[in-house]
Each structure stands twice: as structure tokens, then as C-alpha cells.
Amino acid sequence: MTSQWHRPYSPGPGRWVVVAWELFGLAFFGWTTERILQPAVGWTPSGIWVLVLALFALWVVASYRILRMGVYVSGHGVRVLGLLGRRTVPWSEVDRITVRDTRYSIGGLRVAGGMSVQIDPHDGGPIETTLWAQGIDFAFRRHAFHAAYQELRRHLTMYRQHSRNIVTG
């Protein structure tokens, strides 16, 4: 088993669409902000450039995080990288990995989230992953969603077999 973290599936090309869309939205936001702030506040061109560069730096950081989001595995465990954080669960603490029909509560409403992969630890509630059948990675590649799920389960099985072999002998 390897100690290097790797994603057991290939991300979909839709991530690049999201990054490009965010760049377009940020450019539009910067342009409209400049059009509003310059006459109203009297910003100098250098002040506007500072704002544009700050927004661009924010976009670079967010884009990097979007491209890195996902589920990673190694011999140590499974790691879920989200937009704002990460969570690592050692294989020894994983009870099972399942696909569930996820539902979210927003206020008093229950909203269907679709099929997603969840990690069930021995202690505590299920851990949501970024693997979602209708998500940007798998929306047009349903087979890739099932393959990613099977690959995660395969890693869990490999860890358990490896642990059993160490104990027995």
C-alpha cells in the first residue's frame, strides 16, 4: 500500500468550465465595480488596479482549490478535500463506504441531493464526500461515478486484507 495521496478517479473536464466561468464572473464583477466606484468614490486608476489584482489573486487561490477538490486515498486512509477544508479518516476508523440518496434540510424544506458517496466511520455520523453522481466530475460520465465508488471500496478492502495478514502472520 502506498503512502502517497492520490485521487482514485480522474476529475471531469467540467472543473475547467467552472474555473473559466468563475474568471468570467470575476472579470464582470471587477468591471462593474470599477464603473461604479470610480465616479462615486473617485478611485484612482492605481487603486482600481489594486482591487483588480486582489480579485485576481482570490480567483487563483479559489481555482486551485476547486481543481484539487475531491477524495484522495493512500495506505493511511481516505482524505476528503473540500473548497475550504479537508478531513482525513484513517482506514482503521472506516466502517464502510456507501452510496446514498442524499437529502438536505434547508429551513423546513427537504431537498433531494442525488446519489453521493459517504464514508461511515466506526464512531460518529457519516462523512459527506465531494463525489456526487450529478456533480461536475460525473454529470456526463455516470460510469466514472460507479468506478470511483468501487475504487474507494477496493482500497478499503485492500487495507483490511493487509491488516489481517499482519495480525495473522
Looking at residue 169, what is its pLDDT? Answer: 58
Nine cell digits for residue 99: 452510496
Interatomic CA distance for residues 148 and 31, integer angstroms: 40
Q: Note the pLDDT tens digit of each residue in 73-91.
A: 998 999 999 888 999 999 9
Q: What is the model's pTM?
A: 0.79
Q: Note the pLDDT tens digit of each residue in 151-164.
A: 999 999 998 888 77
- What is the DSSP secondary structure assignment for residue 123, as one 8-state letter? S
Measured from the Cβ of residue 146, the count of other Cβ atoms closer than 10 Å reads 14
